[in-house]
Amino acid sequence: MVGAGHRSLLYASYAQHHPDKLRVAGVVEPDPVRRKMTAERFGLEEDRCFSSVDELADKPPIADAVINGTMDDLHVKTTIPLLEAGYDVLLEKPIATSEENMMELYRTAEKAGRTVMICHVLRYAPFYRAIREVVGSGEIGDIVNIQTAEHVSYHHMAVSFIRGKWNSQEKCKSSMLMAKCCHDLDILSWMAGSAPKKVSSFGSLMQFKPANAPQGAGTRCLADCAIEEQCPYSARKHYIDQGRWGFYVWENTHLGAELSHDQKLESLRTDNPYGRCVWHCDNDVVDHQSVIVEFEDGSTATHNMVGATSRACRTIHIVGTKGEVTGVLEDGSFTVRHPDPRKGHEYSERRVSVNVTDDSHGGGDLLLVEDFVRVLQGNEPSISCTSLEKSIYGHQIGFAAERSRLETRTVEIGGIQSFV
């Protein structure tokens, strides 16, 4: 494991469920406390614990592969030395923070002959996989249009993109679209089965800025706010009363660290960044954005990211030449429709139910790791396989969308070969 954060630990938990298939052999983590706690969890000796990627890469390989769960702007610079050292890599998304860096990684992987799979976990959610199988069967004909949306809940928006690690493109180097929706854009390209050609996008930071702060709002929820008891963004309500997002808010709780109720209150009251007022943070990323895509085969698609919604959900509607598919991930089912011109009818439809787990990715997280293990064992990859070369198109859409938004123009995409 490279980076002992929440996502790395989640993927590595596959080893605890299936010790006959995966074993954690070492950890790279610059924070000595996290490094020690990770070593204790997985029974690692001191010589299997490293403070930097270079330390690991300088030694003969100690494992078959690496799970890289570092922050966005570290993905490429930490993965390249590992590929060159002989490791295959399961890499957290987004692949990179620029198209140029992404293609540098692609070229390095090709030259080294190593496998890189991207953590586009939505492909592995039974909901999306089953829809892709319907599309692939030809039942709805050729795709004409795809519409997807992600509604980011008010509490997720607050913890990650206003108060948290992805609230500023200057700091994390990723736009909110890439940090939050690069795997939604991956779903678009995966379903379309065609390379993206043109992209336009619009969006802005509309809600969460000082000018919009309600009267009585302070700078910290538990220090100087007169409306904290009524505010839906109260840090106390989100992180203590409801116990949400603890792996972000409380240091090392994902590794077993514990804080008392009073310690949590004091933390939010004083120096914890997650105790700040959502209207008085240093956030600069958008809180809503729309993307329009034209593919090489003439089909089109849209993706709408809307922040601070009451309910978190992902929706999809695919219209083909012979029928359509529509559904909501969190509902655990989708509907397939066909025109039906018989007298008294307009269309026929059937409902398809799938298993959905409450892990925010529809059950895809550990199915991704399972497929990674299968690929490394030499087995045929699944229909969902998120190999690096199959994951680039969605990222190209995301990078082009941000250029379009900032430059107010339609951006043409040159394709992978223009970078190779």
The DSSP-derived string for 46-104 is GGGEESSHHHHHTSPPSSSEEEE---GGGHHHHHHHHHHTT-EEEEPSSS-SSHHHHHH
Residue 14 falls within a domain, yes or no? yes
Comparing CA positions, the residue from 368, 340, 57 lying closest to residue 183 is 368
Based on the fold, state whether residues 132 and 195 are members of the same structural domain: yes
Based on the fold, state whether residues 99 and 141 are members of the same structural domain: no
Based on the fold, state whether residues 94 and 133 are members of the same structural domain: no
Token pair, residue 338, equals 């066909």
Query: What's the rounded mean pLDDT across residues 259-276?
Result: 97
DSSP string, 294-318: EETTS-EEEEEEEEEESS-EEEEEE
Give the domain-ending residue among 118, 135, 157. Answer: 118
Q: How many CA atoms lie within 13 A of 229 on its CB side?
A: 1
Give the end-to-end CA distance of the chain in Å, rounded to a whole number. Answer: 29
Respond yes or no on whether the N-terminal peptide bond of residue 32 is cis (omega within 30° of 0).
no
Query: What's the rounded mean pLDDT across residues 272-284?
Result: 98
CATH number of the domain where residue 355 is located: 3.30.360.10
d(CA 148, CA 315): 5
Q: How confident is the model at residue 416 (pLDDT cuts 50, 70, 90)?
A: low
**Are 57 and 82 in contact, with CB atoms under 8 Å apart?**
yes
Query: What Å distances lie between residue 266 and 24, 201, 271, 276, CA to CA?
Result: 36, 42, 9, 13
Q: How confident is the model at residue 252 (pLDDT cuts 50, 70, 90)?
A: confident
Based on the fold, state whether residues 104 and 126 are members of the same structural domain: no
> pTM, whole model, 2 decimals?
0.94
Based on the fold, state whether residues 96 and 136 are members of the same structural domain: no
Based on the fold, state whether residues 27 and 81 are members of the same structural domain: yes
Based on the fold, state whether residues 32 and 137 are members of the same structural domain: no
pLDDT at 231 over 80: yes
Give the domain-ending residue among 245, 275, 305. Answer: 275
pLDDT digits (tens, 9 = 90+) for 145-154: 999 999 999 9
Torsion 380-384-386-391 (CA) sign? positive
pLDDT at 409: 98
d(CA 306, CA 302): 13
pLDDT at 305 over 70: yes
pLDDT at 65: 98
pLDDT at 254: 82
CB burial readout 37-73, b (16+ within 10 A) else e: bbbebbebeeebbbeebeebbeeeeebebbbbbbbbb
Q: Distance from CA of residue 315 to its chain's centroid? A: 16
Pairing of the two strands 143-153 and 300-309: parallel
pLDDT digits (tens, 9 = 90+) for 53-75: 999 999 999 999 999 999 999 99
Based on the fold, state whether residues 204 and 214 are members of the same structural domain: no
pLDDT at 357: 58
Residue 1 falls within a domain, yes or no? no
Residue 34 falls within a domain, yes or no? yes
Based on the fold, state whether residues 68 and 38 are members of the same structural domain: yes
CATH number of the domain where residue 26 is located: 3.40.50.720
Q: φ, ψ for residue 15 (rounded to 5)?
A: -65, -30
Based on the fold, state whether residues 305 and 158 are members of the same structural domain: yes
Give the residue, 363 or 279, on which the prediction is more confident.
279
Report the domain count for the chain: 3
d(CA 143, CA 140): 8
Based on the fold, state whether residues 370 and 407 are members of the same structural domain: yes
Residue identified by tokens 């690096």 is 388
Residue 68 falls within a domain, yes or no? yes
Residue 300 falls within a domain, yes or no? yes
Ramachandran category for residue 363: left, alpha or beta (phi over 0 → left; psi -120 to 50 → alpha): left
Based on the fold, state whether residues 107 and 130 are members of the same structural domain: no
**Are 183 and 120 in contact, with CB atoms under 8 Å apart?**
yes
DSSP string, 337-376: EEE--STT-SEEEEEEE----SSSSTT-HHHHHHHHHHHH
Token pair, residue 5, equals 């954060």
pLDDT at 365 over 80: yes
Range of the domain at 250: 210-275
**Are 57 and 85 in contact, with CB atoms under 8 Å apart?**
yes
Give the domain-ending residue among 68, 103, 118. Answer: 118
Torsion of CA 289, 99, 360, 334, to 10 degrees: 70
